[in-house]
Amino acid sequence: MTDPHVLAHHMLSGIGRVDGAEPPVLVPGNPIRIHTAPGTEDTRPPWVGEQTDEILQRELGLSADEVASLRTDGVVA
């Protein structure tokens, strides 16, 4: 995070936090740079458990009620 090469080449991106805390989360930027291509917007990595419901429903085909039951039973947080 403090390496001169990393800093000189702007290889880190500051991603704003959803909880409003400062400073932003530093994450590695895309190492592939094409100067003629339009830039892309960096997005933050998900918080632990942030996408659990979506993944359980989309990938495993569980219903919202089934996910809620797993939460009630302490299977997922």
Share the mean pLDDT of the chain.
84
**What is the reported pTM?**
0.53
Ranges of each domain in the chain:
1-30, 46-77
Instruction: Determine the Cα–Cα distance for residues 1 and 10; give it in Å rounded to an integer.
Output: 11
Residue type, 12: L
The most distant pair of C-alpha atoms in the chain lies apart, rounded to whole Å, by 52
8-32 per-position pLDDT tens digit: 888 888 887 777 777 888 888 777 7
Given a cut of 70, is residue 39 above it in pLDDT? Answer: no
* C-beta pairs of 35-44 under 8 Å, 24+ apart in sequence: 42/13, 42/15, 43/15, 44/15, 44/16, 44/17, 44/18
**Confidence (pLDDT) at 41:** 64
CB 29 within 8 A of CB 40: no
